[in-house]
Structure 1
């Protein structure tokens, strides 16, 4: 590329960033969110920058929408606050062949001993397919350059940042000095849990660092979340091809977490992110907690429409709440609307949840096999939900609704956000 071409390209990026900033401001003026405006505006921009912005915006859109119900009720045991340190790095976080650095990254792209599911390595990337080892020398504030702020939530700020070696990351900053001890303990628990996870079905946390009493989470970005995809493509609602692929990915993520003794507790479309190839990853471990399957925890937390009955009644809950939420997710993807409503007062939704999934809630077009699957997941008694029974996970994966599904995931995802972006640019 000649010097004049380089300058022209650089000015195009500056112009694109200016356009994105203006779009973000307009979103606020008209009652929208900067994240959604950035995502839509970026369609008309340089493809590389567009995917970078889209990826990090979507991965953490839940920060802006902030739909989660705050933790209440019984206090939980605190995390080890003494073990904050100045630096935490995930073991084996060297991103050579293992992780593609396309926007939305493919995460742990080769089979890992603890990984359930496919080998998702795809050669090449729209940005850069290598990442440096994260060490004390390369994981600090001086190693990153801020590109843009992506969102602000109750717990902190999420920014798109570029490492000094070139790759981009989504970095969440949480000011610990402004938090009460219980909230600090929750943040530290999230860090500790996330660092121990390696699965192609989960957004990867590469490390954290402290700067001026603020904890920074360095994570792989994603291209778009499921909430965004289904609202841009309403034709995906009621599509079994899409719903079965995404719900199967969630099943593998939950299976991985549960086998490690972790309950997730915040399943919703905003927390399900697609990478640049269209594979799904679960993000946001804020409510995750180590709980043995025979134990119970009592914190009131989660997202309103996805709360299981035992969370609402505060009778104690465990891994079964995640399977209830999966049933609610499948209902929404196949019906085109939430199972228990969203606009009604909380008390109304709580009452509907406690009554359970009633036959009249199912739209006539929903296949009987799908109805049966949802009912087996959303059984009022947690112990009777299909995956909680002996051999239940095998029965879940072999359910008639998943007939013909390839659980090794050696297939093309039903939707590729990268191709979609390119088509929109050409259109």
Structure 2
């Protein structure tokens, strides 16, 4: 995640400037303290109980609360509540500092933009007028842009593609949350503390509706994954040597991604990439897939095409753009060597999912029988991974995978591995996570 820090620091600087500008004048009075603490508590509770509505992130009722807070008490109270809530939530969840910094900053920026747009069109805090109808849209645009931006940097995908993929399933949810925020504010402004109690009831009701929607979506996703597994099993029946290959690559890829500390949604997408990375082999003749012995140059060119075939197939499936990129790039060399298939992309410019799949795919290929050779021993397979760190494979991915293999008892412990490699005069850097 180190490459994300410059972006996060930039976002934090913008958020700090907004706070400095907005918090001029008296910060405290008795009613403000109550509202600040109330909103901070509600923000924390909203973040502690998110809803998984798509593969790229969670949605909470926090945006409803922010819109309501801006309309009820104004920007100053809302910002203080967000800062308190963001810090306390980060401590409770023991979240990485980079995530706490980004999430708090992006909510501050989104809330500030929303309030400034609201007041620019004639709106005023404490009054529920038609001007407030612009607030849900004004909040959604900067919020989704910032989230999409950091996801695009993390996943090495174009910003516009990430934004479309992130939001195609969430527009209705965002509209519901926006209307909910305005409703909350209207109740509080009209009925005071009684309205606050009604707000809590409505929050529970709204969350129940969204929970049911997310449950239905997760059920559909689970069925889709099962369908993919059946299709890949059918494809692998063409080649008995690779039976179970995609499932094994998916399992190893998920474990590597988790070891590297990637976000849960990234892990899910990479696991899906593992299942479908070789789907393009449907376009490769059986005579080539099952050939006993080495492929000639023409046959090798045909087998290389399975990555572009796979990309084309997956791009025809809605929501599979990220997996399509993984399928296209999973045979690229980390150092840009021309032996890698397709694009000559180098280093961390290769999508992280593709770099992970490349290691998991190579490991399974080396440790299973193929038509042209018997499986390598585990020791030889480990040596190949280490020898090709920095050339074919991303060193960080290899190190993460070796830690997984050692923890699961598949390969020797660190010290034993060092002794084996020292005898073979192979340099090996420690694999401890940084």
Q: Normalised by the size of structure 1, how large is the TM-score?
A: 0.25
Structure whose alpha-carbon radius of gyration is higher: 2
Higher helix share: 2
Q: Which has the higher contact order (CA 8 A, sep 6+)?
A: 1
